[in-house]
Structure 1
Amino acid sequence: MWQSLIETQKSLVPDMLSHMLKRINILTCIRNEEPIGRRSLAKELGMTERVLRSEVDNLLELNLIKVESKGISISAAGRQTLTDVEPFLTLIESRDDLAAQLTEKYSLKDIYVVRGDADHNVLVKEELARLMAEKLTSNLTDGMVVSVAGGSTMALVSKFLKPGFQDLLFIPARGGLGEDAALQANSIVSRLAAAANGEHRMLYAPDSISKASLELLKEEPMVREIIELNNRSSIVIHGIGDALQMAERRNVSGEVISKLQNRNAVGEGFGFYFDADGNIVHKVDTIGLQLEDLKDKDAIFAVAGGSGKKEAVKAYLKLAPQNTILFIDEVLAEYLLG
């Protein structure tokens, strides 16, 4: 609902949102630097003193700031206003400035950054999913096969995906996980297909089995079909996970947990656990896509949000193929640029 309202406002009165963001930036700067003089505030914001004077007068009239001899400070009402608006900022404006800086630093196909921290604002995760759905749609064509991994953000993408293409096919990128069924790839591909008026296939295979059982299972016709479809899929969408959190979600053995801890695993993707330098420290034997398969795809849509995934994302970028399109939040972007 909020996203729809904001998009309508952008269409009808785009100046209103830009003006609101300007005032939010002024209030934020005052809060961080108070008390601050007009000249210093204008310099900090990159505004002329004449333009700033008008904004300060308006904010003073609205009782959002206080102007005293020692400088400008924020009022209780102004502080509460910033608190109230902060959860919705991610829906108003993306951090294109951070994305541009990251694009210069990392050789990826594209990077998108939304405001906020997904660990502290549920709307940030929804915005990441919405943005991924929007960019995925712009890359789809009739008859395309899309490989899909599991995860909480992946589960939200179907909420924003719209029909518009013929004969789309969504398939699980790998075997099922030992976690909540709603977060497994089998569940997510069915929801994506329903949203896009496409088709989907299921992969009835455990995430981790013995090598002998794995080879036998690969000979099953339904399983062999999924393997072949993954080999010719054009797009892969997946999340980037924290190593120990993902291991616990999948109910792995205590022996594997100890191994991950001893080898300083920080991140996980497609059943591969890696350390801060991007070295693979543990691999789950599973049916489906492998990391080495990703470089041959048209695009890899990778998403992560929240300060808890800082190390995981930083390490993953040492493994990510150049055809990766990365979706992250502001807190991760600032960490990667630090």
Structure 2
Amino acid sequence: MWQSLIDIQKSIVPDMLSHMLKRLNILSCIKNEQPIGRRTLARELGMTERVLRSEVDNLLELDLIKVESKGISISESGRQTLINVEPFLTLIENRDDLALQLKEKYSLKDIFVVRGDADHNSLVKEELVRLMAGELTANLLNGTIVSVAGGSTMALVSKFLKPKHDNLLFIPARGGLGEDVALQANSIVSRLAEATSGEHRMLYAPDSISKASLELLKEEPMVREIIDLNKRSSLVIHGIGDALQMASRRNVTPDVISKLENDNAVGEVFGFYFDADGNVVHKVDTIGLQLADLKNKDSIFAVAGGDGKKEAVKAYLKLAPENTILFIDEVIAEHLLG
């Protein structure tokens, strides 16, 4: 509801939002630098003193700041206003400035940055998924096959996906019966198909399986179909996970946990665990998409948010293919920029 209202405001009265953001920026600067003189504040904000004077007068009239001989400081009402509005800032403005800097550093297809920290604000995670779903929708053509990974982030995608084409097919990118049912790719592709009036296929295979059993399972017709569809899919959507958290969620053995710790694993995608240098240190034997398959896709939609995933994302970008479209939040973006 909030996002719909904000989108309407953006289309009808965009000046109102930009004006609000300007005032919030002024308040934030005052809070961080208080007490601060008008001239210094104008220089910090890149504004003329004349324009700033008008804004300061308005903020003073609203009782959001205090103007004293030692300088301008924020009032208790102003401080509380910043606290109250922070959760909604991510819905109002993305960090395009950070995205532009990241595009100069990383050779990816595209990068989007959402304001905030998903670990401390659930709206940030929803906005990441909403933004990704919008870009995904723009890439969905009649007959598109989409490989879908499991996870809590992917589980939100169906809430925001609004396709404009028919005959869409969603398939699980890999086996995953060792995790929460709601987070399994099988469950997620089912919801995506329902939301888009499309089709889906299921893959009933354990997350980890012996090599001998794996080869036998590959001979099953339904399994062979999924393997073939994953090779033919043009789009892939997936999250980027913290290595030890993902291992714990999938109930791996203590021996594997020890191996991941000893090898300093920091991240995981598609059952591949990698260290800070992007070296794969452990691979789960399962059926489905392989890292080597990604470079052949039209687009890879990778999503991650929260301070806890910053090292995983940084490491993943050392092995991510150039056809990756990355969706991250502000805290990860700032970490990537050093």
TM range (shorter): over 0.9
List structure 1 runs of 4+ shifted beyond 3 angstroms: none
Q: What amino acid does structure 1 have at the position aligned with 2:239?
A: G
TM-score by length of 2: 0.99
Q: What is the root-mean-square deviation of aligned Cα atoms in Å?
A: 0.6
- Answer yes or no: is the 8 Å Cα contact 2:302–2:327 preserved in 1: yes
> Match of 1:204, SS?
coil
User: How far apart, CA to CA, are the structure 2 residues paired with 1:109 and 1:120?
Assistant: 28
> Match of 1:274, SS?
strand
Q: What amino acid does structure 2 have at the position aligned with 1:141?
A: L
- 1:264-283 matches, cutoff 5 A: 264-283=264-283
Identity rate of aligned residues, in percent?
A: 84
Per the alignment, residue 161 of structure 2 pairs with 161
- 1:261-300 matches, cutoff 5 A: 261-300=261-300
Q: What amino acid does structure 2 have at the position aligned with 1:115?
A: R
User: How far apart, CA to CA, are the structure 1 residues paired with 2:163 and 2:111?
Assistant: 25
> Match of 1:301, SS?
strand
> Match of 1:166, SS?
coil
- 1:162-311 matches, cutoff 5 A: 162-311=162-311
Deviations 1:3-38 (CA, angstroms, capped at 9, x unpaired)? 001011111111110000000000000001001110
- Answer yes or no: is the 8 Å Cα contact 2:64–2:76 preserved in 1: yes
Per the alignment, residue 142 of structure 1 pairs with 142
- Answer yes or no: is the 8 Å Cα contact 1:310–1:335 preserved in 2: yes
Q: What amino acid does structure 1 have at the position aligned with 2:160?
A: F
TM superposition shift of 1:213 = 0.1
TM superposition shift of 1:197 = 1.2
User: How far apart, CA to CA, are the structure 2 residues paired with 1:157 and 1:70?
Assistant: 51
User: How far apart, CA to CA, are the structure 1 residues paired with 2:110 and 2:245?
Assistant: 27
TM superposition shift of 1:177 = 4.2
Whether 1:16 aligns to 2:20 is no
Unmatched 5+ stretches in structure 2: none
User: How far apart, CA to CA, are the structure 1 residues paired with 2:115 and 2:140?
Assistant: 26
Q: What amino acid does structure 2 have at the position aligned with 1:17?
A: L
User: How far apart, CA to CA, are the structure 1 residues paired with 2:239 and 2:269?
Assistant: 7
Per the alignment, residue 72 of structure 1 pairs with 72
TM superposition shift of 1:164 = 1.7
Deviations 1:225-251 (CA, angstroms, capped at 9, x unpaired)? 000000000000000000000000001
User: How far apart, CA to CA, are the structure 2 residues paired with 1:161 and 1:86?
Assistant: 26
> Match of 1:97, SS?
helix
TM superposition shift of 1:160 = 0.4
User: How far apart, CA to CA, are the structure 2 residues paired with 1:264 and 1:177?
Assistant: 26
Q: What amino acid does structure 1 have at the position aligned with 2:118?
A: A
Instruction: Classify 1:186/1:102 alpha carbon distance in 2 versus 1 (closer, same or farther; 3 Å).
Output: same
TM-score by length of 1: 0.99
